[in-house]
A and B are shown apart, each in its own frame.
Chain A
Amino acid sequence: NAGVTQTPKFQVLKTGQSMTLQCAQDMNHEYMSWYRQDPGMGLRLIHYSVGAGITDQGEVPNGYNVSRSTTEDFPLRLLSAAPSQTSVYFCASSYRGPQETQYFGPGTRLLVL
Chain B
Amino acid sequence: GENVEQHPSTLSVQEGDSAVIKCTYSDSASNYFPWYKQELGKGPQLIIDIRSNVGEKKDQRIAVTLNKTAKHFSLHITETQPEDSAVYFCAASKGNFNKFYFGSGTKLNVKP
**Which A residues lie at the B interface, using CB under 8 A?**
4, 31, 33, 35, 40-45, 48, 50, 56, 58-59, 90, 92, 97-99, 101-102, 104-107
What would 21 A/B residue contacts be, using CB atoms closer than 8 Å? A40-B9, A42-B4, A42-B6, A42-B89, A42-B104, A43-B89, A45-B99, A45-B100, A50-B98, A59-B101, A98-B32, A98-B98, A99-B95, A101-B34, A101-B46, A101-B49, A104-B43, A104-B44, A104-B45, A105-B43, A106-B42
B9 pairs with A58, CB closer than 8 A: no
Contacts of B102 in A (CB 8 A): 35, 42-44
Contacts of B101 in A (CB 8 A): 45, 59
Scoring B residues 41 to 55 as 1 if CB is less than 8 Å from chain A, else 0, what string do you get?
Answer: 111111001000000
A-B residue pairs, 10 tightest by C-beta: A104-B43, A98-B100, A42-B102, A42-B104, A99-B32, A98-B93, A43-B102, A101-B46, A104-B44, A42-B105
* Cα–Cα, bound, A41→B36 (Å): 15
Is B1 interfacial (CB 8 A cutoff)? yes
B43 pairs with A41, CB closer than 8 A: no
Q: How far is the CB of B71 from chain A (nearest CB, A)?
A: 18
Excluding A44-B102, A56-B98, 19 further A-B contacts by CB distance (< 8 Å) are A4-B43, A40-B9, A40-B104, A42-B104, A43-B44, A43-B102, A45-B100, A97-B98, A98-B32, A99-B31, A99-B93, A99-B95, A101-B49, A102-B36, A102-B44, A102-B100, A104-B44, A105-B43, A107-B41
Q: How far is the CB of B44 from chain A (nearest CB, A)?
A: 5
* Cα–Cα, bound, A56→B1 (Å): 15
* Cα–Cα, bound, A16→B45 (Å): 34
